[in-house]
Amino acid sequence: MTTTAPATVRVLARAKLPTRHGVFDAVCFSGSDDVEHLALSIRTPLGGTSLNGSPLGEPSDGERPGDGPLDDDPPIVRVHSECLTGEALGSQRCDCGPQLDSALRLVAETGRGMVLYLRGHEGRGIGLAQKIRAYALQEAGLDTVEANLELGEPVDRRSYGPAAAYLRQIGVDSIRLLTNNPDKVAALRAAGVQVAEVLPMPAAPVPANEAYLATKTERMGHRGLRLGDEGLS
């Protein structure tokens, strides 16, 4: 996991995105690596200009839950890593799909905050092909940490620099972070983001991912997940 934040990000496009949880401002942006990421926000500054030079400014009113003046409390933010298998295909090997859904729901219910969806993070940054190879190793008995190492990959290759740079560019310097991952907290703080509060994400245990969630708790230090007689809760 790396912590270096690009100096700036480039805003590429903006539109409203209706979801089952509400209508979000969707801002596509890229960092120095030219990977396109997405910010889904409600009542948070948008900042910057689009490619045609038009200002993005503040979020518009009247179309989302919780519209009104921006307050001074740190917004709820989820920095979420792309996971094709968990989000689009409904894989039960991980809890990425339910976590993304929960984050969007919590932001909508709160009426202010954002989900920063970082692309290029497939398989904790090792890519889709290596991720599928890691799955095959897990079928042979390795856990998610051991599988990455067996492939010659780090346990976590992700960089949160683009998220930190986007937050800085829109003037958000303090957040309440939705995560169970202490390494993510440390990486964002190292990149200059003030994490005022850490809010745990609910787990979504099923038989296919209980070993994965247990490894995240026992070997990767994730918090907010509890092991009990009936599995994770």
Of 177, 181, 141, the residue nearest 1 (C-alpha):
181
Domains defined for the chain, CATH in brackets: 10-121+158-232 (3.40.50.10990)
- What angle is formed at CA 71 by the lines to CA 67 and CA 77, rounded to 5 degrees? 80
φ and ψ of 43, to 5 deg: 50, 45
Please state, in angstroms and rounded to a whole number, the distance separating the CA atoms of residues 153 and 224. 26
Q: pLDDT tens-digit profile of 63-89?
A: 444 444 456 789 999 999 999 998 999
**Residues paired with residue 78 on neighbouring β-strands, in sequence order:** 115
pTM listed for this prediction: 0.81
- Whether 89 and 83 have beta carbons less than 8 Å apart is answered as no
Which residue numbers belong to the known binding site for GTP? 78-82, 99, 122-124, 144, 179, 184
Active site positions, annotated: 156, 158
Strand 194-199 relative to strand 174-178, pairing: parallel
Sign of the CA dihedral running 169, 29, 31, 121: positive
The tokens of 152 are what? 């010659």
Which residue numbers belong to the known binding site for Zn(2+)? 83, 94, 96
Residue scoring higher pLDDT (4 or 88): 88
Which residue numbers belong to the known binding site? 78-83, 94, 96, 99, 122-124, 144, 179, 184
Is residue 110 over pLDDT 60? Answer: yes
Name the pLDDT band for 143 (thresholds 50, 70, 90). confident
Is residue 226 over pLDDT 60? Answer: no
Residue scoring higher pLDDT (18 or 95): 18
